[in-house]
Every structure is written in C-alpha cells, then in structure tokens.
Structure 1
Amino acid sequence: MTFVDLEDVPESSKQDTNKKESTPVDRNTGQWGYDLYPERRQEKKPTPLTHYILGKGSENLEKIKCERGVYRCFKESPIVKLMLGALKSSGCPVDIRRHISCEECSLEVSGGFDPVLNQVVICHNNASKEGIIQGVLLHEMVHMFDFCRNNLDFKNIDHLACTEIRAANLAHCSFMSAWVNGDTSIFNMKATHQNCVKNKALTSMLAVRNITQNEAINAIERVFDRCYNDLEPLGRRLRRSSNDMTKAYEDGIYYGYVDS
C-alpha cells in the first residue's frame, strides 16, 4: 500500500536518500493516506510514566517486537533477502535503520510505503507475527522496487493500480487465500488468482486515494494484463506451502540480486 502525493518529490529521492525532501509536503490530509499513519504527520508525544503504571505503555513493547521481527526477516527470510538484493542491484540499497520504520497505525492497515522519505512502514499494532511482518515487507518492498526502477508516479492512477497489482500478485494471493476471501469457487478456479489480485489491488487503492470504486476498477482493468505478467524481481508467483521463496532467492544470483 502506498500513501503519499509525489508532486514535490525530487528525482534523487528514488535513490538511497539520507535527506528529507527539499520541498515541504502537506501531510495533514486523508487523500494520500496519512490519516491511516498518524506518526507520519505529527510528532508522537512521550508516553507518560502513569501509562506504564496503568499498563498502557504496550505500544513501545510492540514496537520493539516489530523491530526484532524485521531484523530476523532481513537476516533469515529468503524472499526479503531477494528483495534487498534486487533493490541494491537497481541502485537503491536498503539500510534497515533508515528505510524501515515500525509505527502505530490505523487499524485498517498493516503497512505502507512512503516514497517521499523512501521508507517502508510496518504497523506494529497490527503486524505482530513474524510471518505477517515478512508479508508486509515483501508487499511494500515491491512498491519500493517499482519506485526505484520503473519511474513510478503515484499521482498517476494507472501507475498506482499497476504497483498494487504487482504487490498483490507477488506477495499475497494463493488459491487458499482466494477461497477464504470469497474470490473463487469450484466453478471459476481458472480465474482464482486473477480475481484475488484484482480485489486486493482494489482494496488497497480505495484505502489510500479519494477515488470512486469505478475509477479504481477501470484503472486496474486498463493495466492488468501487463502488470499481472510482470513478475520482477521474483520471477514467479509464490505458492502457499511450497519452497518457491527459497527457489526465487537461489535464482536471484543469476540476475545479480545479491543482498550482501
């Protein structure tokens, strides 16, 4: 999921940026999703001691747990390591301290990508298990990869639809998840994966843009075939309960995707 207006994003921010944008960006607007990520638009006040005494300081423990989960994914997850290698080879190396942020978010989302700061957000209050953190990292790093390598313009609704299609395609949908979500039945198994991808992309687009459902659907349909068949940098769709993640990581070396 992505959530900002790129009108004022300098070209250099697509690389490994250590500086904030030179032009201020208005973050106090729900149009670009900042209502879902409150820590993106205001400084969070220190937690009073009374909150700890009354048991209300759990968000700090959640943040630490999230950061540990992210670190383990960086060190142990083959698919996250593949994305790190792909980003590095594309000229956008990822620094875990600079480009990944565990934050408290709205209950509707588990993560996001902020291209203004070139930063992936993991919602520590909604993504607590390591498997969920891995999925969020993969989804958002697909957006980061598209932004780095494909000159992605998030103001363009077709560009947004394309990257959401790719993220859903590579990071989320499988036969089982589609069945659980009601995207398929015994009568339309052939379209199972495509239906799941379209529905996931639609949900993500509506969550972060002030557009109608028809506008989002039309954008998805315009770009679907091309973006659905673009499997970079994984080279495959990941099947549940398979070793596809390990295979994708092992194949990455042939394309120069080395994370270290």
Structure 2
Amino acid sequence: MSKEEASKPLSASDASQGFNWWIRTLKYKTGISLTDQEKLAYEQENKVKTELDQCAKCNEYKNFMLQYSPTVTFMIDQINQVGGYVDPDKLKCEICTIPRYGGYNPGMGVQLCANYIDNKWVLNDTLSHELVHWYDNTRFKVDWGDIRHHACSEIRAASLSGECALVTEFKRRLGFLRYAKGHQECVKRKASLSVINHPACKDKEHADEVVEEVFRSCFNDTRPFETIYR
C-alpha cells in the first residue's frame, strides 16, 4: 500500500464492512444477539478447530513415543520379530464417538482417541496396551470372536502396558504383597471393562467370570517381556 493510499479516508463501504466485522466478532465472543443459525455455525467452527487441535496434539505425543518410549519401541520390535509389521500409518489419532482412549482392530490397526487422551503419558500407556493386542494377534493368532481369547489378551495388555503400574512411593509404603495384589486387581478391573463390550458377553458379572477363569494363565504369560513392567 502506498503512502497516498494509506492516507486516503475509508470509503463508506469499507467502514461499514469493518464495523460489521467488529460487531460480528463481538457477538461471537460474547454470545449476545446471535441467531440460532449463527450460534450453530459458531459452535461447529469451534468444534472443528478443537478437534483439529486435539488430533495435532495426539500426533505430537504419538511421534514422541514412537521415538522415545521404551515400551512402545520394544513392542514394535517384538511384533516385527514374530513376523508382523507395525505400519505407522495404521496408528491413527482420531476423534472417537464413545468415551475411551483407544482400540485395536486386526485389519485397521490402532485407533488413538485424540479427544480423550489429554497427555503423552496416557497415550504411551494406551499405545503400549494396543500394541500388546497387536503382538498377541500376530504371535498367537487370537480368535477375537472367542470371549476367552479376548479376555486373555485384555489381561495381558492391562498388565504389560504399564497402565496398572503404581508409583514407587506406593510400592515402598504398601509393601510388595499388597502392591502385587493391587496390580492384579487393576488388571482384572480393566480387562472386565473391555470384555463387557464383547458381543458374547451377557453382563458385567459374566465379564468378571470369564476374566477370572483365564486370569492365572494369561497374567503369568508375560511374553514378550521377561517380567511384568511396573
């Protein structure tokens, strides 16, 4: 813009447009005098922006863990060693319609729920959990239609991912036996919460029964780890 152009007074049209923009911005920020249509458009615009921000942050966390997380990098290596391959494009940050951190599908890979994962440590545990499922599916050929197979993998994933780990301070104060018991109870609870969504599961009581039935053998199988990660 030249000095001459900058010094020219605004036309009535330009001034009107500027004023209207200011009024519209003020209305959006305060919510005052918005029509129902304007409110809907504003809410939709904010929703899209929020979801884009959530997915961007989720991908940032994911990329960090793919590079630096001992559990995530170890599990990916172990999956490769048993004949599988973790395609980075199949580790997807998405907006989930039901409250959960993530999920695993043998054909589609891992879903990471960007709108529920609020920090990189939650993503680390979630991705580690789902990679245990991926490992089980590759190594043991899991029949996901069999509720006991499903329960077994959920037990292993909850135990080995680190999501049921207790802080060192708790371990020191409570003692090993109570710590170990607390870990197992956490694993059972999380496994049951997943199994209850299986098509063959009747109710929570049924989920608890199935988890209890297979718990000992599945909990004691720590492959590919030498011991339980806590």
TM-score normalized by the length of structure 2: 0.72
Shift of 1:125: 0.2
Look up the equivalent residue of 1:149 and give its one-letter code.
R
Q: Specify whether residues 69 and 208 from structure 1 end up closer, same or farther in structure 2 by C-alpha distance, changes over 3 A only.
A: farther
| More displaced stretch, 141-150 vs 167-176 | 167-176
Paired position in structure 2 for 1:212: 203
Q: Higher relative CO (CA 8 A, sep ≥ 6), structure 1 or 2?
A: 1
Paired position in structure 2 for 1:87: 79
Q: Specify whether residues 53 and 229 from structure 1 end up closer, same or farther in structure 2 by C-alpha distance, changes over 3 A only.
A: closer
Q: What whole-Å deviation, never above 9, does each CA across 1:31-79 have from its counterpart, x for those lacking one? A: xxxxxxxxxxxxxxxxxxx558952321011111111211111111111
Alignment counterpart, residue 69 of structure 1, candidates 39, 42, 61: 61
**Could you say what secondary structure the match of 1:92 adopts?**
coil
Paired position in structure 1 for 2:225: 234
| More displaced stretch, 138-147 vs 165-174 | 165-174
Counterparts of 2:142 and 2:127, CA distance in 1? 19
Q: Structure 1 or 2: larger helix share? A: 2
Look up the equivalent residue of 2:74 and give its one-letter code.
L
Shift of 1:174: 2.7
4+ residue segments displaced more than 3 Å: 50-54, 207-210
Counterparts of 1:233 and 1:120, CA distance in 2? 19
Look up the equivalent residue of 2:206 and give its one-letter code.
E
How many residue pairs match? The answer is 181
Look up the equivalent residue of 2:187 and give its one-letter code.
V
Correspondence 1:223 to 2:214: yes
**Contact 2:102/2:130 (8 A) holds in 1:** yes
**Contact 2:147/2:198 (8 A) holds in 1:** no
Counterparts of 2:204 and 2:43, CA distance in 1? 43
Where do 5+ consecutive residues of structure 2 fail to align?
1-40
**Contact 1:74/1:81 (8 A) holds in 2:** yes
Q: Specify whether residues 54 and 159 from structure 1 end up closer, same or farther in structure 2 by C-alpha distance, changes over 3 A only.
A: closer
Alignment counterpart, residue 151 of structure 2, candidates 161, 177, 202: 161
Q: Specify whether residues 213 and 72 from structure 1 end up closer, same or farther in structure 2 by C-alpha distance, changes over 3 A only.
A: same
Alignment counterpart, residue 136 of structure 1, candidates 114, 118, 126: 126
Shift of 1:176: 5.3
TM-score normalized by the length of structure 1: 0.64
Q: What whole-Å deviation, never above 9, does each CA across 1:111-133 have from its counterpart, x for those lacking one? A: 0001232x000000001311111
Counterparts of 1:205 and 1:92, CA distance in 2? 25
RMSD (CA atoms):
2.3
Q: Specify whether residues 148 and 53 from structure 1 end up closer, same or farther in structure 2 by C-alpha distance, changes over 3 A only.
A: closer
**Contact 1:110/1:127 (8 A) holds in 2:** yes
**Could you say what secondary structure the match of 2:93 adopts?**
strand
Q: What whole-Å deviation, never above 9, does each CA across 1:129-174 have from its counterpart, x for those lacking one? A: 1111111100000001101110101110110110010011112213
Q: Specify whether residues 208 and 108 from structure 1 end up closer, same or farther in structure 2 by C-alpha distance, changes over 3 A only.
A: farther
Shift of 1:88: 0.7
Paired position in structure 1 for 2:52: 60
Structure showing greater radius of gyration is 2
Counterparts of 1:104 and 1:54, CA distance in 2? 16
**Contact 2:106/2:134 (8 A) holds in 1:** yes
Q: What whole-Å deviation, never above 9, does each CA across 1:223-252 have from its counterpart, x for those lacking one? A: 11110011111222222xxxxxxxxxxxxx
Q: Specify whether residues 52 and 88 from structure 1 end up closer, same or farther in structure 2 by C-alpha distance, changes over 3 A only.
A: farther
Shift of 1:91: 1.1
